[in-house]
Structures are given as C-alpha cells and as structure tokens.
Amino acid sequence: MSLAGAAGPWRWLAGLLYVPLLYGAGWLLALPLPLAPADRPLVGTAFTLALFLLSLPLWVGRMWRQPAPWTTLGVLGPAPAVLRALLRGLLKALLLLLVLSLALVLGGWAHWQGGVALSEWINALLLMLGVGFAEELVFRGWLWGELTQLLGGSRWAGQRALLAQAVLFSLVHTRFNLGPAALLALLGGLGLLGLVLGLQRRADGGLLWGAIGLHGGLVGGWFLLQGSLLQLSSQAPAWLVGPGEVAPNPIGGLVGWLGLGALLWVRRRWWAHQARP
C-alpha cells in the first residue's frame, strides 16, 4: 500500500494517543456495569477492541487517505490467497511447537498425556482466532502502517517501522518481574517474533492472515500443549521451555530463538523489500 509522507507534531500526537484514548474509553464504559472485579479488565478490554474496530476504518480513511481501509490493513483479499496465507502461518506454528515438544519429551522434561476435552479445543480455537486476529490487526495492521507514515519521508520508512513495531510488540508483551537474564531472553524472543510476523505479512503480499495463523497458532497450540497434551516436569530448564516458571513462554527459550531465527532466514529476501506493509 502507499501511505502519505510524515506529518507534523500534531500527527505524531494523534497517533500516540489513539489507542490509549480508546483503552480509557473502554474502561469508562465498563465502570457502570455490575461486574465482579476479576471480570472488569476483560470487559473493559472487549469494549476497547470494539471501539478500535469501529473507529479504525475512519482512521485509515482520513489519516492515511486510503479509500479501502480493510484491504489496506491486510484483512480483506481474495479468498484463496487468504486461506493459503492462514494455512501457511498455522503450519509454521505447528512445526515450531512440534520441535519444542520433541525436545522436551526426548530430554525427559515432559511426557505425552494425549486426550483433550472439547471445551479445551474450543478455548484453544478462540485463543487462536481472538488473540491472533486482534493482536495482528493492532501491531502488524494499524501500528506498522501508522509508524510507516509517521516515519515517512524516505524509501526506508517501511524498514524503520518494521523494526519499531517489533520493539514495541516486545515491550508490551514482556513480563518485567523476571530476572535480568530471563527478561533479556524474553525481550529478544518477542522481538524476533515481531520481525517474523512482519516479514510474513510482506511475503503474503500485504495480507494479515499468515501472521494471524502463525501468532494465533502459537498461542492456541501452546495452550493445548501446556494444559492438556504434555505434562511438563518442574525440572524443565528455562533455557529450553522459556522463562516464566509456572507459566513459561517458549518464545524466550532456545527452541523459540532458533526457530524464529530460521524463519527470519527463510524470509530474509523480504527484509529489503521496499513495498509498504
């Protein structure tokens, strides 16, 4: 897609405040509702997502000057291309999780349980579609496009925006209560994932669905593995299973780093691709 060049300070301010203001509005809408304290964050986030989806076409149309917002964001496209991209992303997620599972089982740090209840399959599917779609629309859809415009003015704006969105994605998802080594491992793994997802979108011709499949597949698949399919040993090393102890994140482990590094290598020709996201 083609975005307008960089604008003045007001445009930066608008871009920086857009999502925080929606988040605040979502929480304000949830405040009057008779909710349990534990449910209020979930409902506030749901309102925020609804406001984001409603306002995003207007934002892209007016701020980016794009007449087809959902196509520009990579959501709409030819059905066969969308399906191919989604399946490729899911396949990559499955391969990464398979390598991790084999490493854990062969190392004696996990054993296969098998058997998944229908409710867990449904939860995994909802996680895959919900988290995958919502986060990719925010980070590889809106944020990457927004940064490309704000950092515009040169042919390398897309490259700088690609790096910036990966850094922000990593910072937003990192648990800052970890020790220094674990924190760096998770920050680095999440940064690699942000780059891989961005290059996946480029390789899919701007469609978001390959990144949705890869991201959502990792989230939903790990939920199934950790919750039902595998019994993880408490002795499983953090360098392999990832930091987090009770709830480890394999993106910050050795398999995560090597697997994502391999995907970056496979997609390396898209790094210098000059097409915008």
User: What is the tens place of the pLDDT at every residue in 233-257?
Assistant: 888 899 999 998 778 899 999 999 9
Q: What is the per-residue burial (b if ≥16 Cβ within 10 Å, else e) of 139-165?
A: bbbbbbbbbbbbbbeeeebbbebbbbb
Cβ(150)–Cβ(11) below 8 Å? yes
What is the domain range of residue 91? 77-270
Domain check: are 101 and 22 in the same one? no
Say what the pLDDT of residue 138 is: 96
Which is higher by pLDDT, 86 or 38? Answer: 86
Please choose, from the candidates 60, 54, 63, 51, the residue with its C-alpha nearest in 3D space to the C-alpha of residue 23.
51
Domain check: are 235 and 186 in the same one? yes
Instruction: Give dist(CA 151, CA 154) in Å, integer.
Output: 8
How many C-beta atoms surround the C-beta of residue 221 within 10 A? Answer: 22
- Percentage of the chain lying above the pLDDT 70 cut: 95
> 37, 72, 107 — which closes off a domain?
72
Domain check: are 93 and 51 in the same one? no
Q: Which pLDDT band, with edges at 50, 70 and 90, does 228 fall under?
A: confident
Is residue 174, in this structure, part of any structural domain at all?
yes
Please say if the pLDDT value at position 156 is more than 90. no
Is residue 277, in this structure, part of any structural domain at all?
no
Please say if the pLDDT value at position 191 is more than 70. yes
Model's pTM, two decimal places? 0.92
Domain check: are 48 and 65 in the same one? yes
> 72, 96, 127 — which closes off a domain?
72
Say what the pLDDT of residue 2 is: 40
Domain check: are 83 and 66 in the same one? no
Number of domains in the chain: 2
Is residue 153, in this structure, part of any structural domain at all?
yes
Work out the mean pLDDT of the chain and round it to a whole number.
Answer: 90
